[in-house]
Amino acid sequence: MDLLKLSALEIGGLIRQGELGVVEATRFALDRIDKTNPAINSFVTITGEQAIARAEAVQKDISAGQLTSPLAGVPMAVKDNISTQGIRTTCGSKMLDDYIPAYDATVAERIFQNGAVVLGKTNMDEFAMGSTTETSYSGPTKNPWATDRVPGGSSGGSAAAVAAGQAWYALGSDTGGSIRQPCAYCGLTGLKPTYGAVSRYGLIAYASSLDQIGPIARTAADCAAALQTFAGPDSRDSSCMPEGQNLDIRRVLETVDNPASVKGLVIGLPEDYFTHGLQPEIDQAIRRAARVLEDQGAIIRPISLSLVDEAIPAYYLIATAEASSNLSRYDGIKYGWRTNEEEVEDLVDFYRKGRTEGFGREVRRRILLGTFALSSGYYDAYYLKALKARQMVKDSFAKALGDCDMLLAPVAPTTAPKIGESLSDPLKMYLSDIYTVSANLAGLPALSLPCGLDDQGLPIGMQLIGPAFGDAKLLAVGAAYQVLTDFHQLRPEIEEVAK
């Protein structure tokens, strides 16, 4: 049995039927990490013995019939900005290099209750700011499909881990595309849930009005199963959906192999997205995917989405403004890296030195940008204007989704760039978020899934964007598409090397 070929749900099924032990699966994954992590650098922290001990406990509960979740016992990975009690959580930053949380994020608590076995914490752009996973204090992560390329970001470690067969699924976070874009670059499926569908309690904040935790896996069905374990109301996050509401994911899990769910759906194809320097192979792959869905009875409707060019500036103003406020807590006193007190002149010097040493270049750039946008005299011209643009983006999506059930779009304008290419031109890197940031600005769910390979054999992703709390429908259509195609089955060749 080739465990590398199986999905998370298939591994979970074997475990439930007693055909695969949780410890056996965990050892298999740890061994794979051992042999491939030196080349990929997807993990910042590997839990090792802790994971084995956890696997033994989970196995007992499964055997006793106390754990019945479809993913119970399946080894997985968690992005390093999600707090895990007793497990180091660095957020990719020197600022939090030795931080060991005293509590679990709500999402972590819920996956543990459902029998998750955490293999470790995955690499990411520092404080989730970036599109390449090159800004991490722990060094860049490599794309398993081509190790001279980036895996995308900021959840690049989670995506690379799943693509390299080190974990069967992972958690990421998405503020402006950080789940969807690495999934596109690594040939995976990932969901940015509706804002408020998943608790942010214990997620180290980047931009609170945009951040959402979501699943990264091989298939839409795996994403549905994972989301089912951790979505839902949480009294500790006031922006979370109210008690009594749920995403109705169970429905997806019951009908995953039925492509008939696509029949009659109106799927909008935003014409304006097919111009902006989109790599021709991506354009063709998405149009091919549209035809696959059309053949099943979906109605493909070309639409126009206004404000495509306004989304990036609005996003970068709002995200940096919120980040400058969220990151002010890292002052070396309450939180974070503390500079050598012997060498400072006064308190201001203490803050300046500690924050300069603790934060990397990209994070400092964004704090400066955000502080500027919020400062008096500029607030109206930048921040307030960005909020107005955000409302207009929301309105244009509401209109489009009033006429269609969901939209089909590219995830990123290109496939994975080479390592080192993006950081030299940050503005160009920001523009690569053009297709992803709007879903965050509008709070909408968006699913990224593989739909082809380019001439160089690199994965291409497509994106389904739906109405708020329509997450289950996106996953159902994604699952239907994956019954009809096999792009999600493609695996990169990776050489295993002993450490």
Residue (of 71, 231, 249, 53) closest to 167 by Cα position: 71
The single residue among 7, 175, 415, 422 that binds ligand GLN, judged by CB under 6 A, is 175
Q: Which stretch binds ligand GLN (CB under 6 A): 173-181, 286-294, 379-387, 443-451?
A: 173-181
| Contact set for ligand GLN, span 286-345 (CB under 6 A) | 319
CB nearest ligand GLN: which residue? Answer: 178
Strand 459-465 to 446-453 pairing: antiparallel
State the nearest-atom distance from the C-beta of 22 to ligand GLN, in Å: 32
Which among 100-108, 171-179, 271-279, 481-489 is the span making contact with ligand GLN, rule CB under 6 A? 171-179
Q: Measured over all CA atoms, what is the biggest interatomic distance in the chain, rounded to whole angstroms?
A: 71
Binding mask 199-218 for ligand GLN (x = CB under 6 A): -------x------------
Taking residues 146 to 165 in sequence order and writing x for each that binds ligand GLN by CB under 6 A, - otherwise, the string is --------x-----------
- Residues in region 88-147 near ligand GLN by CB under 6 A: 128-131
Assess contact for 401 and 265: CB atoms under 8 A: no
What length is written for the chain? 499
Question: Which residue of 73, 92, 144, 176 would you call a contact of ligand GLN, by CB under 6 A?
Answer: 176
Which residue out of 154, 173, 324, 396 is catalytically annotated? 154
Which pair of tokens denotes residue 391?
A: 């409302």
Residue 84 as a binder of ligand GLN (CB under 6 A): the answer is no
Does the annotation mark 79 as catalytic? yes
- We find the least distance from the C-beta atom of residue 406 to ligand GLN, in angstroms, to be 21
Please indicate whether residue 121 is annotated as part of the active site: no
Pick one of 70, 152, 177, 370: the residue that binds ligand GLN (CB under 6 A).
177
Question: In angstroms, what is the minimal distance from the CB of 64 to ligand GLN?
Answer: 40
75 Cβ partners below 8 Å, 6+ apart? Answer: 25, 26, 28, 29, 51, 55, 117, 118, 119, 167, 168
Separation of alpha carbons 440 and 41, rounded Å: 28
Q: Which residue has the tokens 């869905």?
A: 293
Give the nearest distance from C-beta 211 to ligand GLN in angstroms.
7
Catalytic residue among 69, 79, 131, 199: 79
Q: Is residue 29 involved in binding ligand GLN (CB under 6 A)?
A: no
CB of 483 to ligand GLN, least distance (A): 29
Residues 459, 464, 465: CA angle, nearest 5 degrees: 135
Residue with Cβ nearer ligand GLN (10 or 80):
80
Pairing outcome for strands 406-410 and 266-270 = parallel
Residue 18 φ/ψ region, left for φ over 0, alpha for ψ in the -120 to 50 degree band, beta for the rest = left
Burial class, 22, CB count within 10 angstroms (exposed 0-12 / middle 13-18 / buried 19+):
buried
Give the shortest CB-95-to-ligand GLN separation in angstroms.
16
192 is catalytic: no
Q: Which of residues 361-420 bind ligand GLN (CB under 6 A)?
A: none
CB-nearer residue toward ligand GLN: 37 or 158 = 158
Catalytic residue among 83, 178, 324, 438: 178
What is the size of the binding site for ligand GLN (CB under 6 A)? 13
Does 174 bind ligand GLN (CB under 6 A)? Our answer is yes
Contact of 293 with 372, CB cutoff 8 Å: no
Q: In which order are the strands placed within the sheet that holds 212-217?
A: 43-46, 117-122, 75-79, 169-174, 212-217, 189-192, 446-453, 459-465, 406-410, 266-270, 299-303
Q: How far is CA 245 from the centre of its chain?
A: 23
Structure token digits, residue 474: 């996106």
- Which of 226/439 has CB closer to ligand GLN? 439
Q: Of the two residues 204 and 256, which places its CB atom closer to ligand GLN in the complex? A: 204
Q: Which is nearer to ligand GLN, 175 or 199 (CB)?
A: 175
Minimum separation from the CB atom of position 9 to ligand GLN (A) = 26
List residues binding ligand GLN (CB under 6 A): 128-131, 154, 174-178, 206, 319, 433
Residues annotated as catalytic (active site), given as ranges: 79, 154, 178
